[in-house]
Structures are given as C-alpha cells and as structure tokens.
Amino acid sequence: MSTQPAVESAVVPAPSEADPAEDSVHVTIVLPCYNEQDHVIDEVERISKAMDNSGMTYELLAVDDCSTDETLARLRDAAPRFPAMRVVAFQHNSGSGTVRRIGSQQARGDIVVWTDADMSYPNERIPELVRMLDDDPSIDQVVGARTSEEGTHKALRVPAKWFIRKVAERLTNTKIPDLNSGLRAFRRDVSGPYLRLLPPGFSCVTTITIAFLSNQHPVRYVPIDYAKRAGKSKFHFTKDAYRYILQVLRMVMYFNPLKVLMPPALWLIGIGLAKGVFDMVVHPVRFANNTVMIFITGLIIASMALLADLIVRSRGDV
C-alpha cells in the first residue's frame, strides 16, 4: 500500500452519499478498504449484523482507498442493503493511516472503532468492545490483543514486533500485550488532539496507542482470536517494521523526550567521568581527546533532552 501524503480534498463522496443522516449515532466504525473485492461485502455484512443485534445506533464508514479492483463498485452496489453504511471514495491511494484519520475526524459517533476489511479480526465482537467503554467511564480505549500471529513473514514479524513492543513498553512504563492491533474502540473526544499525529501507513495504530498511554489515558486489552487474512497482504516487512520502531520513538519523543534522550546522555557522561579518572591515573594532568568528546557529547544530549522537555511542557497538550 502506498503511503504518499494525502490531502483532505482526496475524500470525494459519491453524489448519493454526500448527505448522511443528521441523526446522532453512538458508534462510528471506520473500515479502510483497499483491493478487498472478494470479501469486503462479507465483512460489511458481519459488522452490520453484529451492530444491528446489539441495539446500538451506529454508522459504518467504508472508505475505499482508491482500489484498483471492484471494491468501490461492490460497496456502492451493496449500499442500499446497509442503511447505516456510508461509502467514501478517495481519489488517491493514501494509506490506512490517512483513511483512519479522516474517518475519525468525520465520525459522528461518541465511540470510534477501527478495524480491517480482510476477515482477520473478529468484528462480531465490536459491540463487546464498545460496551466496555460504556460500562466503565474511566477507560478511554479498548484494544483487541491478538493471541496469535497469522501474517506473512511470520518468522521475521514475530521477533521484530516483540522487540518493538518491548521498546514501547520500556519508554511508556506500561505493559502492552499488542502494540499494533487493528481492532480497537476509543472515545472520539479523547482522540481528537492526537489524530493529526497519525502517519499515513500501518503505524497509525501504534501511534494512537502510544499517544493514549503517554498521556495517561487508560487502555484496556481484550484477548481476541486472529484469523489468516483474506486476499493479499499490503504489509512490507522491512519498510513497515522500520516505520513502526521509528514511530514509537517519535511519539515518545513528542510526549516525553526525557525517556528517549536522557538515558544515553547519562551513560555517556558516566563513561566520560570514569574514563577521565582512568586518564588521571595513567596519564596525570592529561585527558585523552576521546574522553573529552564522550563527556561533552553526553552534556549536549542532556541539554537537548531538557530543552525538548521544556518545549513539550510549554506546548499545553500533555
């Protein structure tokens, strides 16, 4: 999936879809769709059936990310069967993160649900996730934590995702069973300030998790089954794994730069001091050049950490 930046004008509803009902709804389900023609209607039907049976008022925002197959045509053909579904078409392929950001910004529900259209997530459990938020006002996000890994490149993905998750846990001081699950429900008003931070690609789910945890918004994890996806995966291991870990560091830097910068700074200062003592013993009254460089580098990074923290604290959104 391309991750080129998209602009808001990329969202072009069909003429019959431009005027959604004005009635308020409780839940908005954002469903990114890209080349899912063989199963997208099955997914829409599964979600709609679960939500209809729940008795909750909802809208299903099916966003076609400029598919090259018949996904959009099939969504539009099926629209009369699903009155709660709004179909939105992008003119350019913009990435799942952009779809979720714009979908969340357009949401009319108090609760926003993210999921995928590839039949991998148990979307019949969406009402369960929403009820957890309804029943416990202290929780701001509920995440479906996968109990197995069924994606492509499994031998590479499992250790890479474990490492990235451990980095995120270390930086946020929080246990994170699943950092990048695509099935989650959260309060729209809480997510508002963080939607602009979402990147265009897959790491958007990591971003919203880190944003909530970094700002002390309670997140609950619910174990879910994870099925083998239908269709072809859009995940590129090398490129997307790099973006995941980069996004983790970027988000923690955005909210708590001391967590990222201060540890290496203190290590460098400590090493510089220890080596300075060693130099004084071996070569009295003379410090080696690398000793001075290590110590000064530590001081510079520590100064940057304090300055970045001051900027974050003065920003007013943490």
Q: What confidence score (pLDDT) does residue 137 get?
A: 95
Q: What confidence score (pLDDT) does residue 239 get?
A: 66
Quote the pTM value: 0.78
Task: Out of 31-45, 96-110, 116-130, 276-290, pick the least confident.
Answer: 276-290
Question: Which residue reads 């002390």 in tokens?
Answer: 216
Q: Please, which pLDDT band fits residue 180 given cuts at 50, 70 and 90?
A: confident
Q: Is the pLDDT of residue 122 over 90?
A: yes
- Segment 91-110 shows an average pLDDT of 92
Q: Is the pLDDT of residue 207 over 80?
A: yes
Between β-strands 109-114 and 184-187, what pairing exists: parallel, antiparallel or unpaired?
antiparallel
% of residues, the chain, pLDDT over 90: 57
Higher pLDDT, 289 or 5: 289
- Segment 9-14 shows an average pLDDT of 42
Sign (positive or negative) of CA dihedral 96, 102, 108, 109: positive
Close Cβ partners of 235 (under 8 Å, ≥ 6 residues apart): 151, 152, 153, 202
Task: Out of 12-16, 31-35, 114-118, 290-294, pick the least confident.
Answer: 12-16
DSSP codes of every residue in the chain:
-------GGGEEE-GGGSS---S-EEEEEEEEESS-TTTHHHHHHHHHHHHHHHT--EEEEEEE---SSSHHHHHHHHGGG-TTEEEEEESS---HHHHHHHHHHH--EEEEEE--SSS-S-GGGHHHHHHHHHH-TT--EEEEEESS--SSSHHHHHHHHHHHHHHHHHHHTS--S-SS-S-EEEEHHHHGGGGGG--SSTTHHHHHHHHHHHTT--EEEEEE--PPPSS-----HHHHHHHHHHHHHHHHHHH-HHHHHHHHHHHHHHHHHHHHHHHHHHSTT---HHHHHHHHHHHHHHHHHHHHHHHHHHHS--
Q: Are 200 and 95 in contact (CB under 8 A)?
A: yes
- Segment 282-298 shows an average pLDDT of 90
CA 89 to chain centre: 22
% of residues, the chain, pLDDT over 70: 85
Please give the Cα distance from 219 to 289 (Å, whole number): 49
Q: Please, which pLDDT band fits residue 184 given cuts at 50, 70 and 90?
A: very high
Q: Is the pLDDT of residue 266 over 80?
A: yes
Contacts 24+ apart (CB under 8 A), 151-154: 151/229, 151/233, 151/235, 152/233, 152/235, 152/237, 153/235, 153/237
Q: What confidence score (pLDDT) does residue 72 get?
A: 95
- Segment 153-165 shows an average pLDDT of 73
Q: What is the mean pLDDT of the chain?
A: 85
